[in-house]
Amino acid sequence: MNKPLSAMPHPARVVAFSGSAKRPSRTRILVEALGAELGRLRRIDLTVYDLIDAGPGLGATQRDELSAPAARLIEAIEGADALIVGTPVYQGGYAGLFKHVFDFVDPARMAGMPVAITATGGGLRHALVVEHSLRPLFGFFAAHVAPTSVYAGSDDMADGQILDPTVAARVGSAAAELAALIDVARPVDVAVLNAR
């Protein structure tokens, strides 16, 4: 019989992945804030990655051609108990290299994984990227996505802090939902998913 992750002897392994090509970035601040809030709600082992941690080897077209740093990033995502993802919004969509990372991820390793989705952009016109791009992406993977997504525009953050109270409240809601998803997560029978 499978036990909830909260009953496991180790803290939940949570990977927070910022799809920004630079560090520091508003996207990293947002995923770190969600990770910190999650850590206040339950025991976790949080590791934060930026896109640049993959190095230039991410440009490979086949998984077996990835450089060691890029392969480590993919393996960390696949081995997580839960995932927090964030992407900057470019031209009305998620970052191309952010998507390229998930092109290498084995869908069977993402099935049933609790995920919180976030994005940052220049203004409100980009806010729907989390619902119209990120949610369908992780729906494809059959991940369990937290109902509350978080978007922060350039005016919502400054000096490494979230200033907007609505964004901060959404971070809290997403963290609470992710904690609940981790508590009830069960391994998914991949054969059942493939039979759909």
Highest averaged pLDDT of the listed ranges 3-12, 57-66, 163-172: 163-172
- Residue 40 CA to its chain's centroid (Å): 18
The confidence score (pLDDT) of residue 9 equals: 52
- Per residue in 117-169, pLDDT (tens digit) is 999 998 877 888 999 999 999 999 999 999 999 999 999 999 999 999 999 99
- Per residue in 94-106, pLDDT (tens digit) is 999 999 999 999 9
The confidence score (pLDDT) of residue 187 equals: 56
| Structure tokens, 26 | 């508003």
The total of other beta-carbon atoms located within 10 Å of residue 103's CB is: 9
- Burial environment of residue 2 by CB neighbours within 10 A (0 to 12, 13 to 18, 19 or more): exposed
- Burial environment of residue 100 by CB neighbours within 10 A (0 to 12, 13 to 18, 19 or more): middle
Chain position carrying tokens 């927070």: 16
